[in-house]
Amino acid sequence: MKPIEISVINYKGGSAKTTLSINLAGYFAVKHKRKVLVVDLDPQSGSTMIATKAFNKSYPLPFDVSKDNRKKADYDIVIYDHPPTNQIRSLSPFVLVPTILDANSFGPTLKTISDLRQTDSEYMLVPFRVEQNKDQQMLLKDLTEKAEQQGKQQPSVKNRAVYQRSANLSVCVYQTVKGELTKSDTWYARREIDAVGDALGTMIKAKLLSQR
């Protein structure tokens, strides 16, 4: 059986692609007991550095990270952590577009979505590091209403310090580090990533059913 392949992409740098890739991999590996591979396509090698540090600290990630996908057939789920780029390349059938809800991200994100509409990939926007200010909350409400009108879910991820803490510790939010990161520390973050994974799962099932 072929693995389910997922691309995480946005033309804008700093849009939390690596953070989403690592934590989504944790969702599938820990919560659903799937064998997961993160393919680090970014020249900055953020996912690879996290995996290397985790291994050196003796609490490895619950999934594999590689710079290539030559062994992808050995996995249930393959997640591609794409670099910021100005064009779509080698996209998976399913795509997540993490974005920050600010003026700097607006243009590149719209261009990413526009180009995705020209492909056969199913995609979902994931607002990340969402602040509680009025402008971002109004925009999130608008996105949620539009998604609901289309019969879709609109998960989002708040700006929580625990995401940076877990990255600094080289773990995903589904892991704990004795004396430094507990389940209670990551409870809200795990619920948010659960919502992203669940919405993605719904999208994947709908696509696979339509192909039968």
End-to-end Cα distance, the chain: 15
pLDDT digits (tens, 9 = 90+) for 40-66: 999 999 999 999 999 998 789 999 999
State residue 95's pLDDT score: 96
Q: For 64-109, how does the pLDDT look when each residue is reduced to its tens digit (9 = 90+)?
A: 999 999 999 999 999 999 999 867 777 899 999 999 999 899 899 9
pLDDT tens digits for range 129-143: 999 999 999 999 999
Alpha-carbon 13 to chain mean position: 14
Kindly indicate the confidence band of residue 5, based on its pLDDT and cuts at 50, 70 and 90.
very high
Higher pLDDT, 150 or 62: 62
**Is the pTM here over 0.85, yes or no?**
yes
Q: What is the pLDDT of residue 53?
A: 94
pLDDT band at 211 (very low <50, low <70, confident <90, very high): confident
Q: Residue 145: count other Cβ atoms within 10 Å of its Cβ.
A: 10
Whether the predicted pLDDT of 6 surpasses 80:
yes
| pLDDT, the chain, mean | 94
pLDDT, position 199: 97
